[in-house]
């Protein structure tokens, strides 16, 4: 085990990426095709098609901001830091009052918002009816010193995407489609690693890892 993880519980907050991973409505479906197999070819190799905006992924500012930073432009300060989680009911839209009831410390880099939507909705209802951020929360997050915000829903908003536009324009990133946020503590700081692949794109898959003091 890496010394970085010593005396830490490592919690994977990502969703598996398979042919069953749902794509955002209107996007090409994700397809992973085997093009070589060990019994016939001596090695295993797959071909992928679809978009990077599936499963657990990171949105860079350039996802919504013209000439904004793309994933490949982000420096290492976006790869992780001190994190804080708040929890709200899945049938409630996150608002500023939820955050004020459990405010993050001033040095928090990443705020995670747990709703439980990833387990409640199921694959067929995942993209419809999910909680969306209220205008007061959007304004606070955009003005904050956070590096990023993570959610267990597919999006923090709906068309015309006010949260995306405001938060990404302020230089932050969004971690969408996270999973099992109930496994990390509420109201206790922990560390988050979320290193994206250096891709020339507005969004890319990421595997967020929470590093929590053990035992939890």
Residue 23 belongs to a domain: no
Residue 141 belongs to a domain: yes
pLDDT of residue 216: 45
Strand partners of residue 36: 45
pLDDT of residue 1: 43
Residue 199 belongs to a domain: yes
What are the strands of the beta sheet with 203-205, ordered from one edge?
8-12, 209-213, 190-193, 80-87, 110-114, 148-151, 173-176, 57-59, 203-205
Residue 41 belongs to a domain: no
Residue 38 has φ and ψ, to the nearest 5°, of -55, -45
Strand partners of residue 175: 58, 150
Per-residue pLDDT of the chain (216 residues; tens, 9 = 90+): 456 666 789 999 999 999 888 899 999 999 999 999 999 999 999 999 999 999 999 999 999 999 999 999 999 999 999 999 999 988 899 999 999 999 999 999 999 999 999 988 776 789 999 999 999 999 999 999 999 999 999 999 999 999 999 999 999 999 999 999 999 999 999 999 999 999 999 999 999 999 998 764
pLDDT of residue 90: 85
pLDDT of residue 125: 86
DSSP 208: -
Domain CATH for 104:
3.50.30.50
pLDDT of residue 86: 97
Residue 183 belongs to a domain: yes
pLDDT of residue 5: 67
Residue 44 belongs to a domain: no
* Full domain range(s) for residue 78: 3-15+52-213
Count how many domains the chain has.
Answer: 1
- Identify which of 206, 192, 171, 197 has the alpha carbon closest to the alpha carbon of residue 60: 171
Residue 25 belongs to a domain: no
Residue 47 belongs to a domain: no
């Amino acid at each position: 085990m890496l010394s970085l993880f010593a005396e830490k519980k490592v919690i994977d907050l990502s969703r598996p990426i398979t042919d069953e991973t749902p794509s955002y409505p209107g996007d090409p479906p994700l397809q992973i095709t085997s093009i070589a197999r060990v019994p016939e070819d001596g090695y295993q190799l797959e071909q992928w098609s679809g978009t990077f905006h599936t499963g657990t992924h990171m949105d860079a500012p350039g996802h919504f901001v013209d000439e904004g930073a793309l994933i490949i432009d982000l420096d290492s300060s976006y790869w992780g830091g001190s994190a804080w989680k708040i929890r709200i009911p899945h049938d409630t839209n996150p608002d500023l009052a939820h955050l004020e009831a459990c405010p993050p410390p001033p040095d928090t880099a990443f705020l995670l918002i747990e709703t439980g939507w990833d387990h409640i909705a199921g694959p067929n209802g995942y993209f419809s009816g999910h909680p969306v951020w209220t205008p007061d929360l959007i304004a606070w997050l955009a003005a904050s010193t956070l590096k990023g915000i993570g959610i267990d829903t597919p999006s923090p908003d709906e068309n015309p995407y006010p949260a995306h536009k405001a938060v990404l324009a302020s230089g932050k990133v969004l971690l969408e489609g996270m999973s099992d946020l109930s496994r990390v503590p509420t109201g206790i700081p922990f560390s988050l690693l979320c290193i994206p692949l250096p891709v020339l794109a507005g969004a890319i898959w990421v595997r967020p890892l929470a590093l929590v003091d053990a035992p939890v």
